C-alpha cells in the first residue's frame, strides 16, 4: 500500500511539474519560427528598398515612362515596415530599447527616402518639360535670328541649345559651368531681336534657367534618396533583433535542462514503478496461492466428496450387487450343502454295510468255519443294505453329487462374471467391447432382471470404444437396474440396440415400463434425485452415468412417455479426442 | 526619334522590358478590376448612401460624391456640409480614387480607409462630434449589425465602416475608355483629332505630371511652377496646399496632381473649384505649369483627347 501511495504522489508531482514546464515553455516564444518570420519581413523591406532605388533611376533615365511603378514601390516599402511592427510587438515596445530605437530609425529613414522620392518626382517632371522644350523654342529663335541676319545671336542661341543638351546628358561636365553664363547672355538678346520674338526669348530663357535649377534639385533629391541608409538600418535592426533574441538563450537552455531533468525524473519513476511491479509480481504467485489455497482446499474437499459420493454409490450399488451375489451364491450353496448332508447320511448308512463286509472278510480270513458267525454277519449285511435304501441309494447319491457339481459351477460362473465386472484395466481409456460389457453386466444383475425379457439387436461390426470397462459396466448396470425397476416382473421387456453411427457407437435401452413425466425426465440426471424409497437408492446412479458418458466425449439422451416406457440412448465416440 | 529608338531597342532584344503596347507611353489603361471583397463592398455601398452618418441625418458620402449623376463629384465649386456650411475645397471625383497614391487635394490621407473617416467628423462636412456618435447613430440597424457580424465577426466600429466604404470605392473605376482601347492596340478607338491631342498632350509636357493609369494622382506638384500663381488674378493662390500639412516652405501651394480621367465631366476645376470650364483650366495649366503659349487649335485637340479618357461607369451605379 505504501509503495503505491508513493507512486501516486510521485506521479502527481510529475503531472504538476509537466504542467509547469509546459507553462514555462509557452512563455518562451518559438525562436526559430519567430526569427524566420522576421527575416522574411526584413528581406521584403530590403528588396522593396532596392526596387525603389532601381525604379527611381529608371525614371531618371526615361526607361520608366510614368510614376505608377515607383509610387507603388514606395507605398509598399512603407507598408512593409509598418507590417513588420504590427506582426512583431517587440519592435514597438519601448522596453526593448535598442530594438525599438533601430526600428524607429529604419522607419524614419524610409520616411526620409519617401520624401526625397516625392520631391524627385515633382522636380523631374518640371525638368523634363523644360528639357524637351528648350530645343524647340531655341530652334525657332535661331531661325528668327538668322532671318534677321543676327548671326552672332543665332550662334548664341544654338550654342545655348547644345550646352543645354550637354547639360542634361551626363557626358559633358563643362556644360554645368557654361550654361549659366550663356543664360546671362540671352537676356541681352531681347533688344536686337524683333518684337514678335520676345515671348520666345522669355520662354527660352525661363526654360533654360528652369533646367539649370531643376536638374540640381532632381539630382540632389535622387542622390539623397539613393544614399539613404535604409540598407544599413535594416542590417542594424537585424543585429538588434538577434541581440533581443539572445535574451531567450538562457531561458531556453534552462528549459532544456529542466526538460532533461524532467525526463530523468519520469524515467526514475518508471524504474521505481517497474521495480515495484516486479516485486508485486514475485509476491503475486504467493498471494494468489494464499488466497486460493482456501479455495483449493474447498475444491479438494469437494473433489474428495465427489469421489466419496461415487464410492458411496458404488458401495451402494455394490451393496445391492453384493446382496444379489450373496443370493446367487447362497441358492446353489444351499442345496449343495443339503446334498452333502444327505450324501453324508447315506454314506454313513453305507458304511454299516462296509463294516459288516469287513467282519465277513475277517471271518473268511480266519477260516470262515463258524457258520453261526457267518450267518450273523450276512444278516448284518442284508440289514445294513436294506437300511441304506438299496441300489437306489448309489444312483441317488450320484445324482446328488451331479447336482452339487452343477451348483458349484454356477457359483464359479458367478465368480468369473464378478471378475469380468471388476476387471482392473491399466488405463481409463483402454478399449472396451460393448457387447462383452453388456453381457457381463446382464449376468451380474440377472437377479434384478429376473423374468423380464431382454431383446438384443446388436450390430455385429461394432468396434471397440475407448472406455474403461469397469466404468462402461457401471453405466450399463445403472441403466439396466433402473429399467428393471420400472418394468413389471412378468411382462417387463428391455430391448437393447447397438449400432454404429458415423464414428459414434450407439447403445439404446428401451423398456416398456411405467415411464416418467416431463418433470422427472428432466431431473433424472440430477444427483440424489430418486423416485425410490429412502433406503432403496442413493439417487446417484444416473448422475454418475451422465458424468461417465460425458467424460468420455459421448452423449446421453432420455425419452420417456408416462405409462408407456423409457428410451435411453447413449452415443460414444469411437476415437478419443487426441487421435 | 521615338520610333527609331524603339525599333532599335527591340532588335537589340530589350523587348523584355515590356510586352504591352503602351510600354513606352506615359499613360496606361485602367485595370478592369481592382481586387476587393464583394460582400463587404455591398455593405460599403449601403453605408455610402447612409445619411445617418451625418449629425443632422442630411448628408451622406453620396451627397458630395454623386456617383449616380455627377460622375462621382458635384457641380458646386466647394462642398456644402450640414447646416449649409461650405468647405474650402472642391470634391474630387470618387471614381478611380482607388488608383490615387494618396487622398485629398493635399494628400493627407494615405489610404482610402483613412480618407473615409475624415468627412464624418469634419464639422463643416458631416459634422459628427466623434465616430462614437456616428456609430451610435447606426448601431441599432439590424441589417448593419447582422452584416457586421457575418462579414467582420465584430460589432460596428469606425474601422469596420471605413473598411467597407473603402472596399466599395475599389469597385468605382471607369475602365474601357476609348483611349484605353487605343492604348491596347485599337487604332480606330479614337479619332484623328484625339490622336493629335494626345501627341500634343505629351509634347507640351502635360504628360509629365498627368501620367500613369489615372492620368495623374500619383505625385505632388506645385501650382504655378513656371509662373507664379499669384499672378492668376483669381483665388488659386490662396490655398497653400501641402504646406498646411508639412509646414515645409517648399510645400507651399503643392497639391496632389489630380486625375484627368473624368476631368471633362467634373467641372469646376482645381482645388477650390474656382475655374468653371475645361478650356479655362487648360489655359491656366499651360500658362502657369508649362510656361508656354499654346495655339487655340492645339488646345481644342487636347480637350478632344481629354474627352477620350472617359471610361465606363461601373454597373449598378446609375
Q: Which three cell numbers stand for residue B296?
A: 487655340
> pLDDT tens for residues A528-538?
788 877 666 66
pLDDT above 70 covers a percentage of chain A that reads: 95
With 0-12 / 13-18 / 19 or more C-beta atoms within 10 angstroms meaning exposed / middle / buried, residue A8 is: exposed
Give the residue-averaged pLDDT of A313-342: 79
- CB contacts < 8 A, A to B, total 72
Helix, coil or strand: residue A201 = helix
What is the pLDDT of chain A when averaged over all its residues? 87
Write down the pLDDT at residue A577. 56
Q: How confident is the model at residue B10 (pLDDT cuts 50, 70, 90)?
A: low
Please name every residue paired with A484 in a beta bridge, in sequence order, or none if there are none: none
Any alpha helices (H) in A228-248, and if so which ranges? 230-246
Enter the DSSP assignment of B258: P
Lowest mean pLDDT among A159-173, A303-317, B120-134: A303-317
Tens digits of residue pLDDT in A493-549: 999 999 998 889 999 999 998 999 888 888 888 877 888 776 666 677 888 888 889
Scanning every residue of chain B, which has its alpha carbon at the shortest distance from the alpha carbon of A75? B101
Confidence of residue B19 (pLDDT cuts 50, 70, 90): low
Q: Cβ of A126 and B254 within 8 Å?
A: no
Start-end of H helices in chain B:
2-12, 38-48, 61-64, 112-121, 131-138, 142-147, 158-169, 178-183, 192-203, 206-209, 243-246, 278-285, 296-307
For residue A579, pLDDT beyond 50: no
Q: Is A122 on the interface with B (CB under 8 A)?
A: yes
Residues A203, B222: C-beta atoms closer than 8 Å: no
The answer to whether A126 contacts B28, with C-beta atoms less than 8 Å apart, is no
pTM over 0.80: no
Residue B165 has pLDDT above 80, yes or no: yes
* Among the listed residues B30, B25, B32, B311, the one whose alpha carbon sits nearest the alpha carbon of residue B195: B25
Q: Mean pLDDT throughout B135-144?
A: 91
B290 touches chain A (CB under 8 A): yes
Of the listed ranges A4-8, A457-461, B276-280, the one predicted with least confidence? A4-8
- Of residues A307 and A209, more confidently modeled: A209
Partner residue opposite A67 with nearest CB, options B219, B225, B291: B219
In this complex, is the C-beta atom of B216 within 8 Å of any C-beta atom belonging to chain A? no
Cα separation, A441 vs A432, in Å, equals 13
Please indicate whether, in this complex, the C-beta atoms of B293 and A122 are within 8 angstroms of each other.
no
B293 and A132 within 8 Å at the Cβ level: the answer is no
Nine-digit cell at A469?
Answer: 470397462
Q: Which residues of B touch A125 (CB under 8 A)?
A: 205, 208-209, 219, 221
First-to-last alpha carbon distance for chain B, in angstroms, is 45
Whether B208 and A126 lie within 8 Å, measured CB to CB: yes
The rounded percent of chain B whose pLDDT value lies above 70 is: 94
CA separation for the pair A510, A494 (Å, rounded): 6
Cα dihedral value A167, A168, A169, A170, nearest 10: 70
Rounded to an integer, the average pLDDT of A187-195 is 88
In the three-class reduction of DSSP (H, G, I as helix; E, B as strand; rest coil), residue A205 is classed as helix
- The CA distance from B131 to the nearest CA of chain A, in Å, is 24
- CA A11 to chain B, closest CA, distance in angstroms equals 44
Contacts of B218 in chain A (CB under 8 A): 66-68, 71
Judge whether B100 and B218 are in contact, CB under 8 Å: yes
What residues have CB less than 8 Å from A113, skipping those under 6 apart? A49, A52, A74, A77, A225, A228, A230
Q: Are A558 and A519 in contact (CB under 8 A)?
A: no
Using CB atoms within 10 A of its CB, is residue B150 exposed (0-12), middle (13-18) or buried (19+)?
Answer: exposed
pLDDT in tens, A253-283: 888 898 899 899 889 888 888 888 888 888 8
Q: Does A118 touch chain B (CB under 8 A)?
A: yes
- Inter-residue contact A83 to A76 (CB < 8 Å): no
In whole angstroms, what is the distance from residue A91 CA to residue A101 CA?
A: 9
A146 CA: distance to closest CA in chain B (Å): 22
C-alpha to C-alpha distance for A116 and A383, rounded to whole angstroms: 183
- Burial of A48 by CB count in 10 Å (0-12 exposed, 13-18 middle, 19+ buried)? buried
Q: Are B275 and B143 in contact (CB under 8 A)?
A: no
CB contact under 8 Å between B101 and A71, yes or no, is: yes
For A465, the 3-state DSSP assignment is strand
Interface test with A, best of B23, B208, B290 (most A CBs within 10 A): B208
Q: Which residue of A has its CA nearest to B248?
A: A115
Q: Which residues of B are catalytic?
A: 125
Ramachandran quadrant class, B254 (left: phi over 0; alpha: psi -120 to 50; beta: rest): beta
Q: What is the mean pLDDT of residues B165-173?
A: 95
Q: Is the pLDDT of residue A28 over 50?
A: yes
The mean pLDDT value for A449-465 works out to: 89
pLDDT digits (tens, 9 = 90+) for B66-76: 999 889 998 98
Q: What are the start-end ranges of the H helices in A433-551?
A: 434-444, 446-449, 469-486, 518-523, 541-551
Cell, residue A187? 537676356
Neighboring chain A residues of B247 at a CB cutoff of 8 Å: none
A342 and B CB contact within 8 Å:
no
Pairing assessment for the beta strands A493-501 and A453-457 based on DSSP bridges: parallel
Q: What is the pLDDT of residue A426?
A: 44
* Cα-Cα-Cα-Cα dihedral sign, residues A120, A121, A122, A128: positive
Distance (Å, whole) CA A479 – CA A496 = 11
Q: How far apart are CA B157 and CA B144, in angstroms?
A: 11
Given an 8 Å threshold on Cβ–Cβ distance, is B292 in contact with A132? no
pLDDT at residue number A428: 55
B212 beta partners: B27
Higher pLDDT, A420 or A460: A460
Per CB-CB distance under 8 Å, the chain A contacts of B215 are none
ipTM of the complex: 0.90
Amino acid at each position: 500500500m505504501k509503495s503505491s501511495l508513493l507512486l501516486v504522489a510521485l506521479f502527481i508531482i510529475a503531472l504538476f511539474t509537466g504542467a509547469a514546464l509546459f507553462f514555462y515553455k509557452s512563455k518562451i516564444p518559438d525562436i526559430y519560427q519567430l526569427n524566420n518570420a522576421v527575416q522574411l519581413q526584413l528581406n521584403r523591406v530590403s528588396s522593396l528598398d532596392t526596387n525603389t532605388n532601381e525604379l527611381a533611376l529608371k525614371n531618371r533615365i526615361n526607361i520608366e515612362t510614368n510614376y505608377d511603378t515607383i509610387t507603388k514601390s514606395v507605398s509598399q516599402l512603407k507598408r512593409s515596415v509598418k507590417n513588420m511592427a504590427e506582426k512583431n510587438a517587440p519592435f514597438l515596445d519601448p522596453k526593448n530599447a535598442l530594438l525599438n530605437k533601430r526600428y524607429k530609425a529604419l522607419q524614419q529613414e524610409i520616411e526620409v527616402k519617401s520624401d526625397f522620392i516625392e520631391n524627385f518626382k515633382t522636380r523631374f517632371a518640371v525638368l523634363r518639360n523644360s528639357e524637351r522644350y528648350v530645343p524647340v523654342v531655341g530652334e525657332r529663335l535661331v531661325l528668327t535670328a538668322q532671318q534677321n541676319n543676327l548671326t552672332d545671336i543665332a550662334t548664341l542661341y544654338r550654342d545655348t541649345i547644345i550646352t543645354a543638351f550637354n547639360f542634361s546628358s551626363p557626358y559633358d561636365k563643362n556644360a554645368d559651368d557654361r550654361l549659366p553664363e550663356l543664360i546671362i547672355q540671352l537676356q541681352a538678346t531681347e533688344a536686337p531681336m524683333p518684337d514678335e520674338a520676345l515671348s520666345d526669348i522669355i520662354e527660352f530663357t525661363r526654360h533654360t534657367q528652369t533646367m539649370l535649377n531643376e536638374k540640381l534639385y532632381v539630382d540632389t533629391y535622387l542622390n539623397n534618396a539613393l544614399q539613404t541608409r535604409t540598407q544599413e538600418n535594416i542590417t542594424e535592426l537585424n543585429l538588434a533583433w538577434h541581440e533581443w533574441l539572445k535574451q531567450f538563450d538562457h531561458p531556453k537552455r534552462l528549459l532544456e535542462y529542466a526538460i532533461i531533468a524532467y525526463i530523468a525524473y519520469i524515467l526514475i519513476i518508471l524504474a521505481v514503478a517497474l521495480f515495484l511491479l516486479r516485486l508485486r509480481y514475485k509476491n503475486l504467485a504467493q498471494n494468489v496461492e494464499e488466497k486460493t489455497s482456501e479455495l483449493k482446499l474447498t475444491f479438494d474437499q469437494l473433489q474428495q466428496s465427489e469421489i466419496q459420493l461415487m464410492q458411496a454409490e458404488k458401495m451402494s450399488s455394490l451393496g445391492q450387487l453384493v446382496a444379489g451375489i450373496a443370493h446367487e451364491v447362497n441358492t446353489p450353496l444351499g442345496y449343495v450343502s443339503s446334498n452333502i448332508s444327505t450324501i453324508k447320511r447315506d454314506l454313513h448308512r453305507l458304511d454299516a454295510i462296509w463294516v459288516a463286509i469287513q467282519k465277513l472278510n475277517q471271518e473268511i480270513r480266519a477260516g470262515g468255519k463258524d457258520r453261526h458267525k457267518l450267518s450273523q454277519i450276512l444278516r448284518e449285511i442284508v440289514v445294513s443294505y436294506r437300511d441304506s435304501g438299496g441300489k437306489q441309494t448309489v444312483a441317488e447319491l450320484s445324482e446328488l453329487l451331479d447336482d452339487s457339481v452343477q451348483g458349484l459351477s454356477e457359483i464359479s460362473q458367478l465368480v468369473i462374471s464378478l471378475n469380468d465386472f471388476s476387471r482392473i484395466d491399466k488405463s481409463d481409456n483402454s478399449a472396451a467391447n460393448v457387447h462383452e460389457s453388456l453381457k457381463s453386466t446382464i449376468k451380474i444383475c440377472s437377479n434384478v432382471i429376473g423374468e423380464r425379457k431382454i431383446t438384443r439387436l446388436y450390430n455385429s461390426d461394432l468396434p471397440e470404444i475407448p472406455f474403461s470397462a469397469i466404468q462402461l459396466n457401471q453405466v450399463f448396470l445403472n441403466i439396466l437396474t433402473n429399467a428393471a425397476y420400472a418394468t413389471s416382473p412378468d411382462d417387463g421387456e428391455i430391448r437393447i440396440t447397438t449400432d454404429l453411427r458415423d464414428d459414434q457407437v450407439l447403445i439404446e435401452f428401451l423398456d416398456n415400463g411405467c415411464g416418467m413425466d416431463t418433470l422427472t425426465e428432466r431431473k433424472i440426471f440430477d444427483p440424489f434425485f430418486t423416485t425410490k424409497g429412502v433406503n432403496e437408492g442413493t439417487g446417484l446412479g444416473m448422475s454418475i452415468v451422465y458424468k461417465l458418458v460425458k467424460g468420455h466425449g459421448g452423449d446421453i439422451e432420455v425419452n420417456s412417455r408416462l405409462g408407456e416406457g423409457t428410451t435411453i440412448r447413449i452415443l460414444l465416440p469411437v476415437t478419443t479426442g487426441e487421435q | 526619334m521615338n520610333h527609331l529608338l524603339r525599333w532599335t531597342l527591340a532588335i537589340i532584344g530589350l523587348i523584355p522590358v515590356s510586352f504591352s503596347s503602351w510600354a513606352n507611353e506615359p499613360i496606361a489603361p485602367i485595370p478592369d478590376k481592382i481586387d476587393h471583397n464583394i460582400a463587404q463592398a455591398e455593405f460599403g455601398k449601403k453605408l455610402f448612401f447612409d445619411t445617418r452618418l451625418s449629425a443632422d441625418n442630411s448628408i451622406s458620402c453620396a451627397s458630395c460624391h454623386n456617383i449616380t449623376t455627377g460622375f462621382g463629384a458635384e457641380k458646386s465649386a466647394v462642398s456644402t456640409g450640414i447646416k449649409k456650411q461650405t468647405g474650402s475645397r472642391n470634391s474630387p471625383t470618387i471614381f478611380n480614387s482607388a488608383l490615387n497614391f494618396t487622398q485629398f487635394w493635399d494628400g493627407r490621407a494615405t489610404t482610402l480607409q483613412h480618407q473615409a473617416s475624415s468627412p464624418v467628423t469634419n464639422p463643416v462636412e458631416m459634422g459628427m462630434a466623434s465616430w462614437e456618435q456616428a456609430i451610435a447613430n447606426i448601431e441599432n440597424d439590424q441589417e448593419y449589425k447582422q452584416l457586421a457580424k457575418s462579414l467582420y465577426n465584430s460589432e460596428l466600429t469606425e474601422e469596420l465602416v471605413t473598411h467597407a466604404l473603402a472596399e466599395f470605392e475599389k469597385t468605382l473605376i471607369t475602365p474601357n475608355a476609348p483611349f484605353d482601347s487605343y492604348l491596347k492596340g485599337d487604332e480606330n478607338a479614337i479619332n484623328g483629332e484625339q490622336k493629335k491631342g494626345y501627341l500634343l498632350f505629351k509634347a507640351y509636357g502635360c504628360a509629365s505630371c498627368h501620367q500613369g493609369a489615372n492620368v495623374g494622382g500619383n505625385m505632388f506638384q506645385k501650382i504655378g511652377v513656371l509662373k507664379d500663381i499669384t499672378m492668376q488674378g483669381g483665388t488659386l493662390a490662396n490655398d497653400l496646399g501641402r504646406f498646411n500639412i508639412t509646414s515645409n516652405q517648399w510645400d507651399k501651394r503643392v497639391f496632389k496632381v489630380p486625375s484627368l480621367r473624368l476631368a471633362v465631366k467634373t467641372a469646376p476645376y482645381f482645388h477650390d473649384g474656382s475655374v468653371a470650364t475645361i478650356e479655362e483650366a487648360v489655359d491656366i495649366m499651360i500658362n502657369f505649369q508649362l510656361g508656354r503659349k499654346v495655339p487655340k487649335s492645339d488646345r481644342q485637340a487636347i480637350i478632344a483627347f481629354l474627352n477620350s479618357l472617359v471610361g465606363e461607369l461601373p454597373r449598378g451605379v446609375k
